[in-house]
Amino acid sequence: MLEKKLASAHVPEEEQINQLKDLESKETEYMRLKRHKICVDDFELLTIIGRGAFGEVEIYTTILDTTFFFFVYLDV
């Protein structure tokens, strides 16, 4: 389907091949990241935003992108 769209858009064949290779590499990277299981090593502590009687709240970011996570650690 993508090949048909590229052909109908009058894109040169060399450019079509380059675009398809680029998309294939992006798809491969996406599938690799999707299979990756999350573990502790994937997060980096940014700061502790609060401490209380029952525990603390910390902000983490993922190493792969800039997604933020708030973790609450409870003292049991």
Tens digits of residue pLDDT in 11-64: 788 888 888 899 999 999 889 878 878 888 889 999 999 999 999 999 999 887
At residue 52, the pLDDT reads 92
What pLDDT score does 74 carry? 93
Using the predicted structure, report yes or no on whether residue 6 has a pLDDT greater than 80: no
72-76: long-range contacts (C-beta < 8 A, 24 or more apart)? none
One domain for residues 76 and 43: yes
**Pair 52, 28 in one domain:** no
Q: How high is the pLDDT of residue 51?
A: 93
- Global model pTM greater than 0.95: no
Q: Do 4 and 26 fall within a single domain?
A: yes
Domain with 69, as residue range(s), is 39-76
Give the chain's domain count: 2
Instruction: State whether 53 and 75 are in the same domain.
Output: yes
CA distance linking residue 5 with residue 57, whole number of Å: 50
Q: Please report the pLDDT score of residue 34 as a whole number.
A: 83
- Mark whether 3 and 21 lie in a shared domain: yes
Within this chain, do residues 76 and 55 fall inside the same structural domain, yes or no?
yes
